Structure 1
Amino acid sequence: MLNADKLRTVQDWVSYYRHETGLPVAERGGFVMLPVTGHVAVVHLPVARAEKVRTALHQHRRTGPMLARQIRWSFLAEPDSRPGVQIMEALNRLDVGIPAVGSAVMLPTGLGRWTREGCHWVVPPTRELQLPPLSVIVTTALAVGSGSED
């Protein structure tokens, strides 16, 4: 097992993510990038909605890796199905984004709260932590927004 405190270079972090978490990351432009593929999807949510989704997923024991940025969180997911046009329109109205296959998400080169990438893990990835299905995150993101506060 690699000791995260000893990781210094981007290449060290690429090795860490690949070997310790199983994520198919690559170095691109001096950053650790996670490509969106047929095996790994990402859902970007505004912070307030993301916190509600996290709570709901936790209650159903479906928590997966979550990355926090200043104005949004990114949930890693297993792409079990792609939302249809109507669902995507509803998500867009809620400022929820699902990057297309072929795009990529920058991962932090640190496990603390302050990294040079301006993001940190709310729930870090591990080999044991399974990615929740994309459909579950999407359904939950739509459901938590139906309260009176929206």
Structure 2
Amino acid sequence: MNADKLRTVDDWVSYYRHEFGLPVTERGGFVMLPVTSRIGVVHLPVARAEKVRSTLQQQYREAPMLARQIRWSFLAEPDSRPGDQVMEVLNGLDIGIPAVGSAVMLPTGLGRWTREGCHWVTPPARDSKLPPLSAIITTALAVGTGSGD
């Protein structure tokens, strides 16, 4: 499937399913990735997300990552849900973990400028295993932002 020839949201849904094996759906004219027991998401402020990405790369781990203006989102495999105390710390650091049943909008383009206002920093790969959610969270807590935390 050639991404340059994709025109409709339905084309993009088929592309994400076929090329990346993601269980996306069309909703309201957008490509939506449901958060499930098999695919989770971690939203991070940009400065922290860049450090997490760098740390993961140093560990020879890749994680699909979407960029938006003020937050970046990692796709992860939900291996465990943080407890209430950890969630409180994460919330205080503006780190979000959408609940199962919610969804994340994916771009209908592989370039930097899409109508959804997001783009892939690291696109998903069909046969790549998603990193554990706990690894993303642990790394996010460990790296700080470099701005005094």
Scaled by the length of structure 2, the TM-score of the pair is 0.97
Tell whether the 8 Å contact from 2:51 to 2:145 is kept in structure 1 after alignment. no
2: CA distance, partners of 1:67 / 1:148: 23
The worse-fitting range, judged by mean Cα deviation, of 139-148 and 63-72 is: 139-148
Runs of 4+ in 1 over 6 A off after TM superposition: none
Number of equivalent positions: 149
Give the corresponding residue for 1:116. 115
User: Structure 2 matches for 1:1-150, cutoff 5 A?
Assistant: 2-145=1-144, 149-150=148-149
Cα deviation, residue 64, structure 1: 1.0
Structure 2: gaps of 5 or more residues:
none
Cα deviation, residue 85, structure 1: 0.7
**Equivalent position SS for 2:130:** coil
**Counterpart residue identity of residue 115, structure 1:** T
**Equivalent position SS for 1:125:** coil
**Counterpart residue identity of residue 106, structure 1:** M
**Equivalent position SS for 2:99:** coil
**Counterpart residue identity of residue 3, structure 1:** N
Cα deviation, residue 24, structure 1: 0.4
1: CA distance, partners of 2:57 / 2:142: 15
2: CA distance, partners of 1:146 / 1:72: 13
2: CA distance, partners of 1:83 / 1:117: 29
Scaled by the length of structure 1, the TM-score of the pair is 0.96
Cα deviation, residue 65, structure 1: 0.3
Tell whether the 8 Å contact from 1:65 to 1:129 is kept in structure 2 after alignment. no
